[in-house]
Amino acid sequence: MKVREATEDDGPTIRSIALRSMEASYSLSPSTIETAIQQWYGVDSFAEKLEDDEVMLLIAEKDGDPVAFSESALVDDRGDIHWLHVGAMYRGEGIGHQLYEETRERLEDKGAETIRGLVLAMNSEGNRFWEKRGLTKVGEGTVEIDGTAYVENIYVDKDSIGLQPIVVDDRELYIDRNDSDRGSDGAFYTVYTDEGRETKYGYYCGACENLVTSMDSMGGLQCDECGNQLKPTRWDAAYM
């Protein structure tokens, strides 16, 4: 199996693999899946991902034919694997595992010290995949598909699980360095009021170390201190 970085000519291939993979893995309507593919890998979205230096799109080829791809991103010193799609007819051949190992290695080469995997809660096979890789579920987020919010499980390396305590106005809060999203100028980390991660307080801006506790109706987030912005592609606004 050969793994290479995607190019602008791979847009139709990426969309085709993602479509077949989602059809096999999710109990979503055909129209919802089609909308999701266009939302994430439409012509403009795909071009933006290729131009983003922190995003990595890798394609796995078997006998010269593209059969799988991964989408990942570097967030500070952590590598986030957002999607890993294997064509339905090629599953069970170890392609997903090989692509994961290659994706992880390349993220580590870019500076990632730990890995975080994201998968929709409804994808039982995808959740088992992360567990078999030795990652542990530490929380939940939300991903919007065709106007509907779906629960997304968050998995991290076991040895990276931990919270960073901070004191704000004589109140102890906890920053979860494993639960974050990329902003325009730095990561936004989820902040909890307790060590059990039961009550969320807001976000911690990695660019200026300011707390942010408000989010707009579309899931957008902006730090009033430095202007760091979070795009509403993956979000969890339930506590805001």
Residue 101, domain CATH: 3.40.630.30
Residue 236 confidence class, pLDDT cut points 50, 70, 90: very low
pLDDT per residue as tens digits for the range 130-140: 999 999 888 78
Average pLDDT in the 29-45 region? 92
User: In degrees, to the nearest 5, what angle opens at C-alpha 57 toward C-alphas 177 and 141?
Assistant: 35
Sign of the C-alpha dihedral, residues 194, 177, 153, 94? negative
The verdict on residue 169 lying in a domain is yes
Within this chain, do residues 9 and 102 fall inside the same structural domain, yes or no?
A: yes
Question: Is 41 in contact with 11 (CB distance < 8 Å)?
Answer: yes
Question: Highest mean pLDDT: which of 21-35, 101-115, 167-181, 209-223?
Answer: 101-115
Q: Between 218 and 104, where is the model more confident?
A: 104
184 and 96 in a single domain? The answer is no
**192 shares a domain with 140:** no
The dihedral over CA atoms of 65, 82, 34, 46, expressed in degrees to the nearest 10, equals: -70
**Are 143 and 177 in the same domain?**
no
Which of 158, 180, 203 corresponds to the end of one domain? 158
Largest CA distance in the chain: 61
Spatial contact of 121 and 153, defined as CB atoms under 8 Å apart: yes
206 shares its domain with 133: no
Residue 154 shares a structural domain with residue 166: no
Domain total of the chain? 2
> Within 10 A of 55 (CB to CB), how many other CB atoms are there?
16
- Residue ranges of E strands in 146-230: 148-157, 163-168, 171-182, 187-192, 200-205, 211-212, 221-222, 229-230
Amino acid at 72: S
| Same structural domain, 152 and 168 | no
Domain identity same for 145 and 182: no
Close Cβ partners of 125 (under 8 Å, ≥ 6 residues apart): 25
The answer on 98 and 181 residing in a single domain is: no
Note whether 23 and 54 are same-domain residues. Answer: yes
Res 237: pLDDT: 34
Model-wide pTM > 0.75 = no
Residues 70-121 pLDDT 10s: 999 998 888 999 999 999 899 989 999 999 999 999 999 999 988 999 999 9
By the 8 A CB rule, do 149 and 141 touch? no
Q: Give residues with Cβ within 8 angstroms of 112, minimum separation 6.
A: 74, 77, 78, 79, 104
Question: Does residue 193 sit in the same domain as residue 117?
Answer: no
- Give the domain range for residue 97: 2-158
Note whether residue 236 is domain-resident: no
Distance between CA atoms of residues 216 and 197, nearest Å: 23
Of 113, 128, 158, the position where a domain reaches its end is: 158
The whole-angstrom distance between residue 73's C-alpha and the CA centroid of its chain comes to 8
What is the residue-wise DSSP string for 221-232? EE-TTT--EE-T
d(CA 240, CA 236): 9
Q: Is 186 helix (H, G, I), strand (E, B) or coil?
A: coil
Quick check: is 150 in a domain?
yes
Residue 198 has a pLDDT of 85
pLDDT of residue 218: 58
User: Do residues 201 and 221 both lie within one domain?
Assistant: yes
Name residue 89's amino acid.
M
